[in-house]
Structure 1
Amino acid sequence: MSGWDEGNVFYSDQDLVDQNAVDNGVANRLVVQGKFKEFIRSYGELNGYFPYRASLLQNSSFLPVNLDDLDNFDMDMGDLIRKNPAEYMPMFEAAAADVAVGLKAKVAGDRGDMEEPTSGDVQVLLTSKQNPMSIRALTADSISKLVKITGIIIAASRTKAKATSVTLLCKNCKSTKVVPCRPGLGGAIMPRTCDHPTQPGEEPCPLDPFVVAPDKSKYIDQQTLKLQENPEDVPTGEMPRNMLLAVDRTLVQKIVPGTRVTVLGIYSIYQAGGSSGPQKGAVAVRQPYLRVLGLEQAIDGKSRGALDFDDAQEQKFKEFARSPDVYAKICNMIAPSIFGHSDVKKAVACLLFGGSRKFLPDGVRLRGDINVLLLGDPSTAKSQFLKFAEKTAPIAVYTSGKGSSAAGLTASVIRDSSSREFYLEGGAMVLADGGVVCIDEFDKMRPEDRVAIHEAMEQQTISIAKAGITTVLNSRTAVLAAANPPSGRYDDLKTAQENIELQTTILSRFDLIFIVKDTRDHTRDMEIARHIVNVHATATSVAKDADGGADKENWLRRYIEYARHSSNPRLSESAANALQTKYVQIRKDMRQRQNDRNGEGSPIPITVRQLEAIIRISESIARMQLSPEASEEHVAEAIRLFTVSTLDAAKSGVAAHITVTPEMRTEIQQVEAQVKRRMGIGSRMSTRNLIEVLGRMGMSENTVRRALIVMEARGEVELMRERRVIQRNA
């Protein structure tokens, strides 16, 4: 019999005796508890500083303990905690509570206070420098052992009241009985008989006489989290594994979905709530979970221990940063198997390093991550750049726009099948917090799904208001997207608006937009062919040297981590002045261009967001050199990158370069009228024949071609350049 009573106290028929608990030769529990007390009191440095005493005096609700310190004090005590933590952790916490009372009494006596300090509950939080194991490596042999795993928190439940002891009231004799509850997700045993002696004249207590007295029971806060494997640790073709975590007391409501954590806890089992149905006979099957004893939160996607660099590594990084051609060397490391595309490689390098994140006094947060869009013809290595970024970035998630929904990219609200409560589950942009999201086939996304990432790309937060859950999740991630034009290939005879069939709202959030074209040039084609053949021909020899290549990629990844962690550049005053002047000039040129085109704006607007983009790119180039400030040289390179990417994309297309005067507009309108008169909808005509016919009417060939381009831009005709044919559309 299992379930929830009206007081929200869980009870079950699980046995309180842990059959795996072994005393390991320690005869007396009091001896073990005494050793724990001695460790807390006496462990310290030679100068007389006792860290655990000081920690208890500062905050007596919890005590962080490093297992390495416990091993240095007594190796046997550390082994007891690792092999049988469920048995000895309560002793450790009881010892910590006793020491806390003694320390408070001593401090109160020194101050002359008359009040006697009371004993309280102290939670011991464990930390360890041992290497974490994979969730996939947890087997039945690990049950009841202390394990350390890493992953991403993808879901968090609401806070519940977990009973530590349940007070039972006999319905017949009104006697009370206190029954302890197992920690974690375990429950309490409901005794079936009352042990109150029957007095003469009293009616004996019946079977199952007890009811729970919720007001007299003791509770602690508890929360359940769902931990998922890091995306980079999931084998190709495998589904990511999940693990349920149970946290209580001071660890409750400390972690939000999307946070990378390192967890130290007891690998435990519990009876799933849905086992009372068709699976009722499978009572021996239990679900695993982790009872958390220590939780280490990540900083910018990496745990605190992972950001430790030894002196030799730091010295090598600083020497590399002092070399004069750092920027060129790093860009040469980006996707070396891809021929050409030097500016795209520089943009990917800037994306991996990122700019400086800023927090303003009024609470506004300015993003430092750089978003890049690669748009162009098929077979131009766009997806290869995305794969390289996913492999090189310390944190990365790769997804395809066709198979991604708004909930999969941002966050979704899921209902738990057993508890029937709603909880949040983070999507790709939440899981990649502090890293890079690579979205391939960006143009294949549904418009409503693409709109969902507007907030995530600029404000770097995801707001959720569903099913009574109102919260904000962090998505501090850079976006590297690849897309194709609507017609499959980039058409120079079309305007930029037609080639880039994306909304202005999403385009303005990309810092750099590259038009990647498959140009037909004999010399370039020969160079690309020679490069591709060499790559395939030397694939075997390259595979033999894979260790060297892996070391190089690992070095670049470590250097990116070090640069993002140690360098936080800002614009210098001279660079800021130069940037202001250049931005105003760019705005003036785009305004003049819009006037020349009769008010038709560019699909890629030049706004304040683009000014911030140039600032972020400048800071990223300075960060590659570990420079504390971005100089004028950095700003000049950032403006050059912005010019060859976003500005050129805004000015792309032959139709965009046509300047129409009032006289030409009248002639074009006459040509349009003649074309519509001579061609029915759906009919085709040779372009040369049309030019000859209209030429006999006094219309020049240039005017006819301009009119056809304008009509094609409106969708009225379709020019087939391969066959030199024009088709009239509806």
Structure 2
Amino acid sequence: MSGWDEGNVFYSDQNLEDGGDENGDKLVTRHSSQRKFKEFIRSYGDVKGPFPYRESLLQNPKSLQVALEDLHSFDDALSERLRRMPAEYLPLFEVAAAEVLVGLKSKVAGEGGEMEEPSTGDVQVLLTSKESPVSIRNLAASSISKLVKITGIVIAASRTKAKATSVTLLCKNCKNIKVVACRPGLGGAVVPRSCDHTTQPGEEACPLDPWVIIPDKSKYVDQQTLKLQENPEDVPTGELPRNLLLAVDRSMVQCIVPGTRVTVVGIYSIFQAGGNKPQQKGAVAIRQPYLRVVGMEQASEATSGGANTSTSDEDMEFKDFARRPDAYQEICRLIAPSIFGHDDVKKAVACLLFSGSRKRLPDGVQLRGDINVLLLGDPSTAKSQFLKFVEKTAPIAVYTSGKGSSAAGLTASVVRDASSREFYLEGGAMVLADGGVVCIDEFDKMRPEDRVAIHEAMEQQTISIAKAGITTVLNSRTSVLAAANPPSGRYDDLKTAQENIDLQTTILSRFDLIFIVKDARDHQRDMQIAKHILKVHANADSLAKGTEVQDQENWLKRYVEWSRSHCSPRLTDSAAQLLQNNYVKIRQQMREQNNERGSSPIPITVRQLEAIVRISESLARMQLSTIATEEHVTEALRLFHVSTMDAAQSGITANLIVSPEMRAEIQQVELQVKRRMGIGNFLSERHLIDELMRTGLSESTVRRALIVMSQRGEIEYKRERRVIVRKS
């Protein structure tokens, strides 16, 4: 069958590799391999089609994607040679592909009319493989010059450069022209020291190093360098994540942005780093490793966590589970089973894991579907345990602490390369967790300027960078699960909500659900918690040996992945009408509360309306429903009321009952305060109370009036409630 579509020319490769010297053997092997590559492209056919590679080559003449499994089934010896010596056989594959393309287009031109013959050597062969990838930290010297497959996340990308494939040299003395091929990847051209021109009688001999490069007559391709880092979930505890430099060229240039998870097939190579510096004696053999990419697959949003690996049996299992009437309760039971109580917090964490549906409007605006949750309250209430559980269960998760995180570490930074001196972007935690969850512990310990840096990432789900001449936008489509403590360490019921929740309104409005987690002192509840904790400690060894808990966690993780990739719920008309009516009631309720008690630290705005929509869609996704019904909206409203609404109404003003007589006394105190203090003036609280008590007012009335004025923002306490400053 070899060469059947080349007219009347038939050939055979038998006995071509027998006999001859070593150079002759290598030449014959390379020639026969190139013929087999051409035969593979022309004649290989399987279930994908009669001739998939011929069709792919005609549709996209610039590149040809080849599966190594197909080449192995065609000729296992040829596939093995390509794996062992890819630097030698991959150029033969590309030349063979270019020659096949010329033959195919000539045939098409002969059938359909005149057609310009394309030039050879411009087809890029991209390799793919279904074998399991290896870890970056497992790459050793034995893998050099061989094909390897690794996975990771791209954290930096350089600018596109022109890489010379062949350099044209001109001799300064005899004007002789010589073309020198460049090594692929990050290697350069080896320029000869002397000219090979034969000196004629009377001519001056060419000196050493006579060559001058002619850039206009050299050939170039586009090249870009990327920095690949291990996936955060693959890094062992206590280890720093490993990085590896990638070199991509031609059709793969400018296809990947930082934060993208990729699977790479490449040639593990080495290069001399810092070549401009004088090398010490004996240090020439030490080279830096890098990967010359010959195939790259980008993990899509739906498959970034591995959802595409599910089987048909698993699909049926998930669908059967979703039909159960208690599916929602069963999922909530699997959320952090070692934590006692906190049922509503567990339901909120389940909503965060499943998330709502991301939408793209006709004008290009994107509405986020990810849900942000804030846990605020006393120490020892399992807030950090919830964060650790989500880190293990979410398909993609990054765990960080507020005190140990900076604005650049959370978003992105601009770094200058030591060797090339050029700037490039390096993504932070919210870029690395694109498509997953960012868990931020000790959220209140962050510096205010660092919290401001994640405002855009939490709502618009992008990170805009304008530094060092680099202006770009990175994706950060993540959910945020944050845990924080009140300023005084414990939640104080004798303080107002604004004093207990010492966070800016701009950041609070971006959280969909805000839970006040209190350490309630109740004898019956303390007995139950103590019994649960002692039981967990007593059965820890048996649970660790058993696989039931681990299987439940793995099942929940797979179910989250599968549902997020196969289900995108939308609100029904009746559910939307119900939500609209309830939102208007909530706004009216908060307006009346603000008139009586002052402004709330947690505003109820359109963002909260969108939050309830996302929660409703998340509840529908847990049951694999394509529509969010009134039942889902009712449960979403209940979760919103027990979390954000309760937090907005918490504090001493929630229990403050103001009678008409008391309101008149409070107004009298306000009038006296405004008479005694000008705007911007400050006065000792004790001195002010003593003065007002001389007018016949009680101390409790004065303190209550000062709380109301502080809630409204008319006065402000400084230096731990000892000095009062009048604001307005």
* TM-score relative to the length of structure 2: 0.90
One-letter code aligned to 1:267: Y
Instruction: Note if 1:630 corresponds to 2:631.
Output: no
2: CA distance, partners of 1:374 / 1:668: 35
2: CA distance, partners of 1:365 / 1:60: 35
Displacement after TM superposition at 1:340 (Å): 0.4
- State the Cα deviation string for residues 71-125 of structure 1 (Å, max 9, x = none): 1111111111111111110111111111010000001111022544433510001
Q: Which runs of 5+ in 2 are unaligned?
A: 1-21, 677-682
Which residue in 2 is equivalent to 1:11?
none
Displacement after TM superposition at 1:305 (Å): 7.0
Which residue in 2 is equivalent to 1:42?
43
One-letter code aligned to 1:567: C
Q: Do the aligned partners of residues 718 and 48 (structure 1) sit closer, same or farther apart at CA in structure 2, a change above 3 Å counting? A: closer
Instruction: Report the 3-state secondary structure (helix = DSSP H, G, I; strand = E; otherwise coil) of the residue aligned with 1:273.
Output: coil
CA contact (8 A) 2:95 2:120 kept: no
Displacement after TM superposition at 1:593 (Å): 1.1
Which residue in 1 is equivalent to 2:680?
none
1: CA distance, partners of 2:667 / 2:591: 26
CA contact (8 A) 1:651 1:657 kept: no
- State the Cα deviation string for residues 672-716 of structure 1 (Å, max 9, x = none): 989xx9xx95979xx9xx9xx97x997668636634755886665
Instruction: Report the 3-state secondary structure (helix = DSSP H, G, I; strand = E; otherwise coil) of the residue aligned with 1:368.
Output: coil
Which residue in 2 is equivalent to 1:276?
277
* Paired residues for 1:377-388 under 5 Å: 377-388=378-389
* Paired residues for 1:227-376 under 5 Å: 227-273=228-274, 276-277=277-278, 279=280, 281-300=282-301, 302-303=303-304, 307-376=308-377
Displacement after TM superposition at 1:308 (Å): 3.0
1: CA distance, partners of 2:631 / 2:47: 52
Which residue in 1 is equivalent to 2:557?
557
Q: Do the aligned partners of residues 24 and 239 (structure 1) sit closer, same or farther apart at CA in structure 2, a change above 3 Å counting? A: farther
Instruction: Note if 1:462 corresponds to 2:460.
Output: no
* Paired residues for 1:532-551 under 5 Å: 532-545=533-546, 547-551=547-551
Which residue in 2 is equivalent to 1:592?
592
Q: Which runs of 5+ in 1 are unaligned?
A: 1-20, 720-725
2: CA distance, partners of 1:532 / 1:548: 19
Instruction: Report the 3-state secondary structure (helix = DSSP H, G, I; strand = E; otherwise coil) of the residue aligned with 1:276.
Output: coil
Instruction: Give the length in aligned residue pairs.
Output: 692
- State the Cα deviation string for residues 332-355 of structure 1 (Å, max 9, x = none): 101000010000000000000000
- State the Cα deviation string for residues 130-163 of structure 1 (Å, max 9, x = none): 0001001000000011100000000000000000
2: CA distance, partners of 1:711 / 1:728: 14
Instruction: Note if 1:603 corresponds to 2:601.
Output: yes
Q: Do the aligned partners of residues 120 and 717 (structure 1) sit closer, same or farther apart at CA in structure 2, a change above 3 Å counting? A: closer
Displacement after TM superposition at 1:603 (Å): 1.1
Instruction: Note if 1:159 corresponds to 2:160.
Output: yes
2: CA distance, partners of 1:340 / 1:94: 67
One-letter code aligned to 1:646: T
- State the Cα deviation string for residues 38-61 of structure 1 (Å, max 9, x = none): 110111137962100000110110
Which residue in 1 is equivalent to 2:641?
643
One-letter code aligned to 2:554: N
CA contact (8 A) 1:296 1:303 kept: no
Displacement after TM superposition at 1:645 (Å): 0.4
Instruction: Report the 3-state secondary structure (helix = DSSP H, G, I; strand = E; otherwise coil) of the residue aligned with 2:122.
Output: coil
* Paired residues for 1:66-465 under 5 Å: 66-113=67-114, 115-273=116-274, 276-277=277-278, 279=280, 281-300=282-301, 302-303=303-304, 307-465=308-466
Displacement after TM superposition at 1:200 (Å): 1.8
Displacement after TM superposition at 1:658 (Å): 3.0
Instruction: Report the 3-state secondary structure (helix = DSSP H, G, I; strand = E; otherwise coil) of the residue aligned with 2:159.
Output: coil
Which residue in 1 is equivalent to 2:576?
576
One-letter code aligned to 1:621: L
Which residue in 2 is equivalent to 1:17?
none
Displacement after TM superposition at 1:26 (Å): 8.8
Identity %: 72
RMSD of Structure 2 on Structure 1 (CA): 2.8
One-letter code aligned to 2:618: S
2: CA distance, partners of 1:114 / 1:222: 31
Displacement after TM superposition at 1:496 (Å): 1.1
Displacement after TM superposition at 1:538 (Å): 1.2
- State the Cα deviation string for residues 172-211 of structure 1 (Å, max 9, x = none): 0111101111100011111010001112221110011011
CA contact (8 A) 1:296 1:304 kept: no
One-letter code aligned to 1:232: E
The match for 1:667 among 665, 668, 672 is: 665
One-letter code aligned to 2:313: A
Displacement after TM superposition at 1:276 (Å): 2.2
Instruction: Report the 3-state secondary structure (helix = DSSP H, G, I; strand = E; otherwise coil) of the residue aligned with 1:550.
Output: helix
CA contact (8 A) 1:61 1:120 kept: no
2: CA distance, partners of 1:428 / 1:193: 53
Displacement after TM superposition at 1:539 (Å): 1.1
Displacement after TM superposition at 1:717 (Å): 9.9
2: CA distance, partners of 1:331 / 1:343: 9
Instruction: Report the 3-state secondary structure (helix = DSSP H, G, I; strand = E; otherwise coil) of the residue aligned with 1:108.
Output: helix
Displacement after TM superposition at 1:424 (Å): 0.3
Q: Do the aligned partners of residues 305 and 455 (structure 1) sit closer, same or farther apart at CA in structure 2, a change above 3 Å counting? A: closer
Q: Do the aligned partners of residues 629 and 712 (structure 1) sit closer, same or farther apart at CA in structure 2, a change above 3 Å counting? A: closer
2: CA distance, partners of 1:280 / 1:493: 74
- State the Cα deviation string for residues 277-332 of structure 1 (Å, max 9, x = none): 57564111000000001000011174597513211010000011111011100011
Instruction: Report the 3-state secondary structure (helix = DSSP H, G, I; strand = E; otherwise coil) of the residue aligned with 2:644.
Output: helix
2: CA distance, partners of 1:522 / 1:715: 38
- State the Cα deviation string for residues 515-537 of structure 1 (Å, max 9, x = none): 10111111111111111111111
